[in-house]
Amino acid sequence: MNSIISPDSHFTLWAVLLLSVAFGLYGEKKKWFGSIAGIVVTIILMSVLAMFHVVPSASDKQLHVPVYDFIFKYLIPLAIPLLLFNANLVKIVKESGRLIIIYLLGALGIVIGAIISFYIVKIGAEGFKVAGVFIATLVGGSVNFVAAAETLDFSKSSLFATTIAVDNFFIHFYIVFLFMVPFIPLLKKYFPDYTEEKETEEEKLENAKEVKGDLESITYSLSIAAVVAALGFWITPIIKDFFHTKINITILVITLIITLAANIFPNILRKFEKTAFSIGMFFLYVFLAVVGAAANPKDVLLAGPEILLFAFITVVIQFILLLIFGKIFKFSLKEIAVASCANVGGPATAVPMAATFKMRKAITPAVLVGILGYVIGTILGVSVGFWLQ
C-alpha cells in the first residue's frame, strides 16, 4: 500500500522527520511525557505514521526512499566524530572496562536465551538454524545474520524471510523499550545512578576557552567531521582487503581516527566540543526518527507467531540476566540499557542511546563493544546452531 507522503516527496519527508524530532525535544523540555525521553516519543510517533501509511516505511527493502538513504548513509558517519571531539584515549581504555563486562554478559544472555527458546518454541527441523542466526544477529548485526544463515544453510529456507522480518521489526521495539528502562520507577530503586567523574580544574579551564556555537565554530566542527569520515571511508576498504574480511568496520575506523585526532590535537578539538556534540546529537535524533519509521507494529504481528515468540523469549531472558548481573556488580540501568542495545542493535543505536542518556564518556566504549559484536556474533551463532543440531 502506497503512503500518503510518497518516497519522492523529499522536502515533505524532511519536514515530518524534523518536526517529529522538534516535538520530542520540546515535549521533553516541557515535561509532557513525564520521565520518558523525548526521543522515545519521536521514535513512537514515526512508527505510528509508518503503520498508518502516512510516511513510507523505512524497513521495506523494495521501497527506495532517497531521504532515508541519505540519513542512513551520511548522518551517522558524520555524527560519530562530532560526538568524540573530547575523546581521551587513556580515559576510554580505563572507563570502557565496565561496559565491556556488561556487554559480554549480555552476549552470554543472548546465547542462553536462544537455547531456552529453542527448547520452548517448537519451530521444527530448522529450529537450530533459527537459534544460530538469531544469536549471530543479536550479538553482532545484519552482516552476522547473513554469514550465519549461509553457514547453516538457512538462506533458502521458507523461514528465512520471516526471521529477517522479525529481526528487522521486533528489535526496533526492544530498543525503544531500552530507551525507557533507566526511567522505570520500579527498577530505579534497585540500581545505582550513573555518574561520571567531575571535571578537573584543568579541564574546566580548557572548556572555558571553548568557542561559542557561532557560524565559525559550526563550520570548523562539520569540516573536521567530514574530513574524518572521508578518511574512514578511504581507509576501510584497504583494511578489509588486507584482512580478507567483509565485516563493516567503517564506524570503527572513523572512531579510531577521531580518537587519535582528539589525543594529538586536544586543545584544538576541545574548543569546539560542545558545538560539535550538539550537531552530532541532532544528526542522531534524525537518524532515530527514521529508525522509528522502520518499526511497523503490524508487520511484526504478521511476521510469524513462532519466530516472534522465539525472539521475544530470547531478549527477555537476556534482559533479566543483565538485571541480575547488573545488580550483583552494581551497574546502573543506563549502563545495562546501553550494553543490551549494543548487543541487539550494534554501535549505530548504542551510540545515540549513550548520548541521549548524557553518558559522554560511554560513547566511544559503546562503539567499541558494538564492533566487538561483529567479530564474535557469527562464531557464537554458528557454534551454538551446530551444537543444538
CA pair distance 125, 219, nearest whole angstrom: 58
Rounded to whole angstroms, what are the CA distances from 80 to 52, 140, 224? Answer: 32, 19, 12
Mean pLDDT in residue range 340-360: 83
Give the confidence band of 296 by pLDDT, cuts at 50, 70, 90: low
Q: What is the pLDDT of residues 257-287, one digit of tens each?
A: 887 898 888 888 888 888 998 898 899 789 8
Give the residue from 285, 356, 245, 321 showing the smallest Cα distance to 71.
Answer: 285
> What would the grid cell of residue 99 be?
561496559
Question: How many percent of the chain have pLDDT more than 90?
Answer: 26
In the prediction, which pLDDT does 183 show? 87
User: Cell 574512514, residue?
Assistant: 232
> What would the grid cell of residue 19 be?
518536526
In the prediction, which pLDDT does 354 show? 87
Rounded to whole angstroms, what are the CA distances from 34 to 20, 53, 183, 184, 194? Answer: 18, 28, 9, 11, 20
Q: What is the pLDDT of residues 99-122, one digit of tens each?
A: 888 888 999 999 999 999 999 998
Render the burial of 197-212: b for 16+ CB within 10 Å, e for the rest. Answer: eeeeeeeeebeeeebe
CA pair distance 43, 17, nearest whole angstrom: 10
In the prediction, which pLDDT does 304 show? 64
Q: Hey, what amino acid is at 33?
A: F
Q: What is the mean pLDDT of the chain?
A: 83
Inter-residue contact 267 to 203 (CB < 8 Å): no
CA pair distance 379, 136, nearest whole angstrom: 7
- Contacts of residue 184, defined as CB under 8 A and 6 or more positions apart, other chains included, come to 333
The most distant pair of C-alpha atoms in the chain lies apart, rounded to whole Å, by: 64
* 144 has a pLDDT exceeding 60: yes
CA pair distance 263, 179, nearest whole angstrom: 31
Backbone angles phi, psi at 296, to 5 degrees: -100, 110
In the prediction, which pLDDT does 297 show? 61
Q: What is the pLDDT of residues 213-251, one digit of tens each?
A: 588 889 999 999 999 999 999 998 998 888 887 766 787
* 201 has a pLDDT exceeding 80: no
